[in-house]
């Protein structure tokens, strides 16, 4: 019994020691971004929900539209390489540029989930959605976000800084 306690204590101390060494070896481990945004592109869940395969349900902030999402993201934070604010016919939109790996996954999903919505989430909160009208072949994803125009510029600046931080310091 006493041996068991010492064994547990020793294993806890060893894991603490090794994890502390790993954290010190990561360059820039301390979060340097004040308003860190972790962007992901999620896809709307389709079909019948039997309870086990479902993801989460999100609500867009202004319209109040509720969308049920699949569990896994289509494009994760490490596959987003740039975000820009662009003017299109209907107003201001975000252009999200994606890596080759993310582009292939977005292409596959845009083929199989035509008519579904792709939702842009930041830190797990939905900020915009776009219905898939066709395939996305070039890794350039346009979406409108439900953020007031006066806050949109700062949001894009925060996203760019967060993407830069994620790409340089946290990429696996």
Residue-wise pLDDT for 80-101, tens only, equals 999 999 999 988 899 999 999 9
User: What residues have CB less than 8 Å from 123, skipping those under 6 apart?
Assistant: 36, 37, 38
* pTM attached to this predicted model: 0.76
Q: Where are the domains of the chain?
A: 1-30, 36-170
**Can you tell me whether residue 104 is helix, strand or coil?**
helix
Residue found under tokens 């083929």: 111
Query: How buried is residue 68: exposed, middle or buried, by Cβ count under 10 Å (0-12/13-18/19+)?
Result: middle
Second CATH level (architecture) for the domain 36-170: 2-Layer Sandwich (3.30)
- The number of CA neighbours under 13 Å toward the Cβ of 140 is 6
**Residue 48 DSSP code:** -
Residue-wise pLDDT for 20-74, tens only, equals 545 444 444 455 667 889 999 999 998 766 655 567 899 999 999 999 999 999 9
């Amino acid at each position: 019994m006493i041996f068991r306690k010492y064994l547990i204590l020793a294993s806890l101390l060893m894991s603490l020691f090794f994890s502390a060494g790993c954290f010190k070896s990561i360059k820039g481990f301390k979060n340097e971004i004040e308003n860190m945004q972790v962007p992901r592109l999620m896809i709307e869940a389709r079909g019948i929900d039997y309870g086990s395969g479902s993801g989460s349900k999100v609500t867009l902030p202004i319209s109040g539209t509720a969308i049920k999402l699949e569990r896994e993201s289509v494009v994760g934070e490490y596959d987003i390489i740039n975000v820009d604010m662009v003017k299109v016919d209907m107003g201001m939109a975000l252009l999200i540029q994606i890596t080759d790996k993310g582009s292939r996954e977005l292409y596959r999903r845009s083929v199989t989930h035509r008519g579904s919505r792709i939702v842009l989430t930041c830190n797990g909160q939905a900020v915009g959605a776009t219905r898939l009208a066709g395939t996305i072949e070039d890794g350039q994803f346009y979406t409108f976000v439900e953020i007031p125009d006066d806050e949109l510029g700062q949001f894009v600046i925060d996203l760019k800084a967060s993407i830069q931080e994620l790409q340089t310091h946290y990429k696996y």
